[in-house]
Amino acid sequence: MRRTAHWLTAVNTISAPHVRRQRRNVDRVFDGMVRRAERQAESDASTAPEFIDSYRFLLRQVAKQETLSMIGWQGYLDDLTRRMTNHLRVERLIAEQPEIAAEPVDRPVVVVGLPRTATTLAHKVLIEPEGNRAPLMWELMNTHRGDIDAKLRDKLIKDAQTMASLASKASPVWDLIHPMDALQPEECVFALPHGYGFYTRAPMPGYRRFIEERDYTPDYEHLKRVLQVLQWNRPRRRWILKCPFHLFNLDVLLKVFGDATIVWMHRDPATVMGSWCSLVETGRALHHRSYDPEAIGPEWLDILSKGVDAARRVRAAAPRERFVDVPYHSLTADPHAFVPKLFDRLGMPWTPKDEGNLERVLARPGMRRSHEYHLSRYGIDIDDVEAAFGDYGRLGF
């Protein structure tokens, strides 16, 4: 299976000297990114010094990657610039309209679980009722008030779509694995300042230590502010959020969103690992001139199994009603029987309209997508997975 477009090889070869020069001058490059973010956000980086410094640290870790391709390097530059712009813009909007910070984010539903456990399907099903709402990709990337000028809104959407389209052009399999569209609901990862999303693209030991030791309270407070800005001067609806990596920070999530309900998706870890490693490999192929697929499995087996362990400890100390379990096969094998029960657990009525919404979701392209993968390609086997996850895979989910 070819993971990258043919034209990438030539682009990366021609651009290699330029990438090396920029990596050697990473701080100067970063200073230019900060100035661009300030101009675009119409704000000053001095309003968020710790946030800006954390991204300088991240880019320094990226610059240590000797195999980084032009697409990979530029992808990080564009992503971090956009995130700094968005962060500064959100802070400016709240400073200009302090009432935004008092906006209630009531009873959000947060879909979590290991990657590749049908979190996208569950998310799309739950956002369909009229009283519910999910943040769209462009809103997470280019957050602004709902009452902005239509031309500015279109510009922000176009910017997000450009990024979404680049992945499809660079990888012929990307749309099979994780299709993206600026006007579709997306994962909170786009609004969380730090986490393993950056690590999927490059194995950065220094950054992994940083995120494992980090206090994520400021990250989730920022996510809450993003939601408050998005709902300002708009009808309030129940937020339906989703991100597999929330598993690593459930304690902080439940603290910041005090009345959230967690919908925890479950699937056989061996199947999860194969599918996830395949996705990570595609990211590595896009971001590097060369990489070792066999290193991906042990690395992510350690990360994901520890994430599940951490989430289970948080859950054991939390009220039972805060969690709803969704087995993968219950949702995918007989959704018409299972989804009404899920709605009931979440205090949401099930109506004939919701039945029709479910039909439309299941009929959408990509809802039953699949791609090929083999554990052996990634340096692990089923015994390794069972040993890492312990009894989690035998809980009957």
Give me the pLDDT at residue 363, please. Answer: 85
More confident residue, 286 or 99: 99
- The answer to whether position 313 is within a domain reads yes
For residue 263, being part of any structural domain is answered with yes
* Least reliable range by pLDDT among 15-24, 62-71, 147-156, 301-310: 15-24
Count of domains observed in the chain: 1
pLDDT at 172 over 90: no
In a domain, 175, yes or no: yes
pLDDT at residue 21 is higher than 60: yes
pLDDT band at 2 (very low <50, low <70, confident <90, very high): low
Report if residue 89 sits inside a domain.
Answer: no
Over the chain, what HEC string results? CCCCCCHHHHHHHHHHHHHHHHHHCHHHHHHHHHHHHHHHHCCCHHHCHHHHHHHHHHHHHHHCCCCECHHHHHHHHHHHHHHHHHHHHHHHHHHHCHHHHHCCCCCCEEEEECCCCCHHHHHHHHCCCCCEECCEHHHHHCCCCCCCCHHHHHHHHHHHHHHHHHHHHHCCCHHHHCCCCCCCECCHHHCCCCCHHHHCCCCCHHHHHHHHHCCCHHHHHHHHHHHHHHHCCCCCCEEEEECHHHHHHHHHHHHHCCCCEEEEEECCHHHHHHHHHHHHHHHHHHHECCCCHHHHHHHHHHHHHHHHHHHHHHHHHCCHHHEEEEEHHHHHHCHHHHHHHHHHHCCCCCCHHHHHHHHHHHHCCCCCCCCCCCHHHHCCCHHHHHHHHHHHHHCCC
Predicted pLDDT at 146: 86
State the average pLDDT for the chain.
91
Domain assignment present for residue 30? The answer is no
pLDDT tier for residue 171 given thresholds of 50, 70 and 90: low
246 belongs to a structural domain: yes
pTM listed for this prediction: 0.92
Tell whether the model's pLDDT for residue 376 goes beyond 60: yes
Provide the pLDDT for residue 26.
98
- What domain range includes position 134? 106-394
pLDDT at 15: 77
Identify the pLDDT of residue 286: 85
Residue 86 placed within a domain = no
Whether 54 maps to a domain, the answer reads no
User: What's the average model confidence in pLDDT over 328-345?
Assistant: 94
pLDDT in tens, 177-226: 567 788 999 999 999 999 999 999 999 999 999 999 999 999 999 999 99
pLDDT (tens digit, 9 = 90+) per residue, 234-289?
999 999 999 999 999 999 999 999 999 999 999 999 999 999 999 899 889 888 88
**Which CATH number covers residue 325?**
3.40.50.300
Q: Is the pLDDT of residue 372 over 80?
A: no
